[in-house]
Structure 1
Amino acid sequence: MFQFIKWIFKTIFLIIGSLLFRCNTDEKEKITFNGKVITDENFIVLNNQFARDSANAYYKSRSFSYADVATFEAVDDHYAKDKNKAYYCDEYREGQNYYLSKRQTILEVKNADPASFVSLKNGYAKDLKNAWFEGQPFDVKDVSSLVSIDYHFAKDDVSAYLNRHPINRSDGKTFVIIDGNFAKDSSNIYYYGYTGEGQNNICILPCDRQSFQILDYRYSRDNVNVFFLGFRLKDVHAETFQIMDDDYSKDKNSVYFQERKIAGAAPETFEVFKENEMFGHDVNYAKDKHAVFMDDKKMKDADLSSFMVLGENYARDNRHVFYKTGIVKNADPATYSVYPHDMGDADSEDGNYKYHEGARIVKE
């Protein structure tokens, strides 16, 4: 009897195992591309983005029959090639129907040599003679040694490039990203980000390499100088320099807003209003024992003892309401309140009127 029961259980387990194996086998045999199960035996998935069958090449849902299908291959997730051409493909959304529809674009990479065409990642590619970014050509000094660093940076053995523009005086062989917004090579240290209107968004910091240190994503220093972004702070005392909130900083002698020295500010009593971080604003407020400041400007009409930040670039004291540094004419500080900027046509009000960016709204 025991042997019979054992035989029954063994048979049941074999049946269940066979069914599970068949299910797993069926799952493994399913081929999917672009979210669809493929049943065409001639359909070959090349990677997550590209495929081909006997008649067409595919980038996601888009087919293009003008490729040489027999030799079509994926280079990376955006580039592909056949024996005749190279292609750059991308997906985008249209503004009016951004969340509803996706569009695919397929560009022929002009003048590409398919035999030597390779991806450098991050949107970059090259062949023996030319370089491209997202399918568009750009000039380099030594294409044979060209490599990409990230989406914005590339380099060869001669020069480094930011957004496909050569970086002046850079040495490509030794160029590396240090951290965040800083880079270096054998000769220079660079800041990249905002470096002034009309600039190429990267500059050489005139610093001592041995003592240079990064303080945060905005500030850096050496044993003599302090830099905000790509700008040197004038007359700064580097040894006593301190970073404060909201782009303010100070040393033993002066106070700075960004790279600009604040005339007349007293560093020993200078403090930033904590409310700057609590409310939406484009400007920053601070004070010392003598005065109130907006960014680097002294507010001549503000009462220090009663001044408070309201948000949306507004502040008040017991006599006035301010929009940035200007007085909001005839506004009542006792009843003045501020609300989110995009509520109707006003961003603030008192007991009598509504206001938008410091101006009273006049009803038509």
Structure 2
Amino acid sequence: MKGSKLAELYDANNENALYWTDGKVVYFREDKIKNADIGSFEQFPGCWAKDKNYCYSGGSKLKDGDSLTFEILNYAFAKDKNSVWTLEGRILEADAKTFEVCDTGKKSLGITFILTENNRKQGKESFVPYGFAKDANNVFYYDFQGKTKVVKKAIPSSFKSLNDGDFGYDENSVFYGKNILSKANPKTWKKLHDKYFYSIDQNRVYYFNRLIKDADAESFEIVFVSSIFETPTQYAKDKNHFYLNDTICSSEEFEKYVAETIARNKEAESKIKR
């Protein structure tokens, strides 16, 4: 992953201007970074940086990080010749020599709105570091919540990520983050839509990693409700039931929830146009 030079001003809406300098000191956002070298300082997507002396995660120096071999792998993971890091710190279980990322290391948080120069509201997609990685011994998952998790029972040699920040699979199992989808068959399993959390195999239906016990996999389908938001409300149905997330509801309740969602979307759209 290529780096870029320091910005002259901090811009909260521009990830390439989170590190900046006034010509005397290097800053991360509004905080000074002590002893950072301006001339050799290089920043990378995902709040990573380095100079000739140190490696950085946000405004913090990575203890014992080797600047010469420091390599940013994606938004969530970085390594040098000795160690592997996420933004929360070193992954003690990881083997730097065989470590590799499985995806881009970022997940969409959805659409936020900012004011433009002419006071118009503009939608902007936001991301956080999320994703899977692996080495010769383990599969790892980072979800921007505490330390990186080892994905137990995952097989590194056959593991693959869907690159959505959520799902992955190997030759035996399907995973939502570090959690297994019980009894899911990876040979027939599929996620139904990139912005929804429903998935199926030939016999079962899942919401996140939860099995929807009474759902019919053959007739199950998502009910798409138009939304300006990156992560829409989750509605679905099969030949027997209607679903709000993974909860069965009546047809009357379903129609009510859908109508309320459409109304909220229209209200949000009208605010953007003001």
Name structure 2 gaps, 5 residues minimum.
Answer: 1-5, 105-130, 143-147, 225-232, 267-274
Q: CA distance change for structure 1 residues 173 and 146 in 2, over 3 Å: closer, same or farther?
A: farther
Q: Deviations along 1:289-335, whole A, 9 cap, x unmatched?
A: 332101100012212232111133000112221111112245388x8
| RMSD of equivalent CA atoms | 3.9
Of residues 218-227 and 305-314 in structure 1, the stretch that sits farther from structure 2 once superposed is 218-227
User: Identity of aligned pairs, percent?
Assistant: 22
Name structure 1 gaps, 5 residues minimum.
Answer: 1-75, 79-88, 94-120, 193-199, 348-364
CA distance in 1: counterparts of 2:185 and 2:7, whole angstroms: 57
Picking from 14, 27, 43, the partner of 1:133 is 27
Partner of 2:168: 249
Q: CA distance change for structure 1 residues 182 and 146 in 2, over 3 Å: closer, same or farther?
A: farther
Could you tell me whether the CA contact under 8 Å between 1:156 and 1:173 is conserved in 2? no
Of residues 250-259 and 155-164 in structure 1, the stretch that sits farther from structure 2 once superposed is 155-164
CA distance in 1: counterparts of 2:239 and 2:19, whole angstroms: 56
Q: Deviations along 1:230-278, whole A, 9 cap, x unmatched?
A: 43211111222233475332222221112221222233332222xx24x
Larger Rg: 1
Amino acid of the residue matched to residue 161 of structure 1? Y
CA distance in 1: counterparts of 2:58 and 2:94, whole angstroms: 24
For 1:228, what is the secondary structure of its paired residue?
A: strand
**Matched positions, count:** 215
Picking from 135, 153, 166, the partner of 2:61 is 166
Q: Deviations along 1:202-232, whole A, 9 cap, x unmatched?
A: 5436322332223321332222222233432
Q: CA distance change for structure 1 residues 298 and 208 in 2, over 3 Å: closer, same or farther?
A: same
Q: CA distance change for structure 1 residues 92 and 222 in 2, over 3 Å: closer, same or farther?
A: closer
Partner of 1:236: 154
CA distance in 2: counterparts of 1:90 and 1:207, whole angstroms: 34
TM value normalised by structure 1: 0.48
CA distance in 2: counterparts of 1:90 and 1:293, whole angstroms: 43
Partner of 1:289: 202
**With CA pairs under 8 Å and 6+ residues apart, which has the higher RCO, 1 or 2?**
2
Could you tell me whether the CA contact under 8 Å between 2:135 and 2:156 is conserved in 1? yes
Partner of 1:150: 43
CA distance in 2: counterparts of 1:241 and 1:91, whole angstroms: 38
CA distance in 2: counterparts of 1:287 and 1:325, whole angstroms: 13
Counting only pairs closer than 5 Å after superposition, residues 24-39 of structure 1 correspond to structure 2 as: none
CA distance in 2: counterparts of 1:77 and 1:268, whole angstroms: 48
For 1:123, what is the secondary structure of its paired residue?
A: strand
TM value normalised by structure 2: 0.62
CA distance in 2: counterparts of 1:137 and 1:220, whole angstroms: 30
Could you tell me whether the CA contact under 8 Å between 2:83 and 2:95 is conserved in 1? no
CA distance in 2: counterparts of 1:154 and 1:210, whole angstroms: 21
Q: CA distance change for structure 1 residues 166 and 331 in 2, over 3 Å: closer, same or farther?
A: same
Give the Å deviation of 1:135.
9.0
